[in-house]
Amino acid sequence: MSRLEQGTHDGLLEAFDRLSTKVPDLAFEVPIPLFLISAGELERARQVYDRIVERRTWETSDHMGTIASLLMLTECAARFDDPGTARAIYPILAPHAGEYAVVAGFAGLLSPVTHALGQLCGLIGRYDEATAYFERCIDDCRRSNLRTLLARTQLAWARVLARRNAPGDRRRAHTLGQEAQRRAEKLDVPLLVADAMTFTAGLSERTLRAV
């Protein structure tokens, strides 16, 4: 299981910081804000992310892990609510919808590209497409026994539903968030548990009764 998701990534931040200094490539730069987010350093994470986005590093990256790196960049864009970057990288990832990305050097993580595409479509307001991507990703996760990613996809989908806020969306988002939390608890993924708890707590009972 990913050291990042477990919150036990001692030494990795420093290692990637050194690598990105020597080789300024997306594959070495984009893990840094994710490590900082997991460490609770959100302001510093946003600063690093903004520098990556400003340089549009993905346009010049020639590393073999570019697609996997864009999946990580998508996680940052979703965290920082950045539709501009989502619009820029969606056309790059869309042709890879049926593929999996392996982030072996980063976290040993296997991920369907559809997870990121759902997040990107949610950021740019293409909600029907986001739903289709998330449904497909959940099917892929169940078929491939990607249990942690299944929980992450449920939570990502819940956030998109809350963003759309159509009738019934918040109630559905609350249910998905709770399901993600229960799965994460069973898998012992504390950061995901905390994220799910924070999300569902933000959907107050008064808000739920109003939809």
What CA–CA distance (Å, rounded) separates 85 from 59? 12
Which of 121, 127, 101 shows the shortest CA–CA distance to 112?
101
What CA–CA distance (Å, rounded) separates 167 from 161? 10
pLDDT at 12: 52
DSSP character at residue 203: S
pLDDT at 106: 44
pLDDT at 100: 87
| Residue 169 belongs to some domain of the structure | no
pLDDT at 36: 84
| Residue 162 belongs to some domain of the structure | no
DSSP character at residue 102: E
| Residue 2 belongs to some domain of the structure | yes
- 104's tokens: 């072996």
* Structural domain boundaries enclosing 58: 1-114
The values of phi and psi at residue 39, to 5°, are -90, 0
Count Cβ atoms below 10 Å from residue 194 Cβ, excluding itself. Answer: 14
Which of 42, 108, 30 shows the shortest CA–CA distance to 70?
30
| Residue 207 belongs to some domain of the structure | no
**Residues of the chain below pLDDT 70:** 1-28, 60-65, 103-109, 204-211
| Residue 53 belongs to some domain of the structure | yes
Q: What is the pLDDT of residues 70-97, one digit of tens each?
A: 998 999 999 999 999 999 999 999 999 9
pLDDT at 207: 59
Query: What pTM does this model have?
Result: 0.83
Beta strands of the chain (E only): which ranges?
100-103, 109-112
What CA–CA distance (Å, rounded) separates 64 from 73? 15
Per the structure, the count of domains in the chain is 1
Residue 14 vs residues 28, 30, 100: alpha-carbon distances, Å: 11, 13, 28
Looking up tokens 């346009």, which residue turns up? 59
Query: Are the C-beta atoms of residues 164 and 201 closer than 8 Å to each other?
Result: no
Query: Are the C-beta atoms of residues 154 and 138 closer than 8 Å to each other?
Result: yes
| Residue 185 belongs to some domain of the structure | no
| Residue 25 belongs to some domain of the structure | yes
- 135's tokens: 């449904």
What CA–CA distance (Å, rounded) separates 108 from 3? 9
Q: Which amino acid is at 63?
A: H
| Residue 33 belongs to some domain of the structure | yes
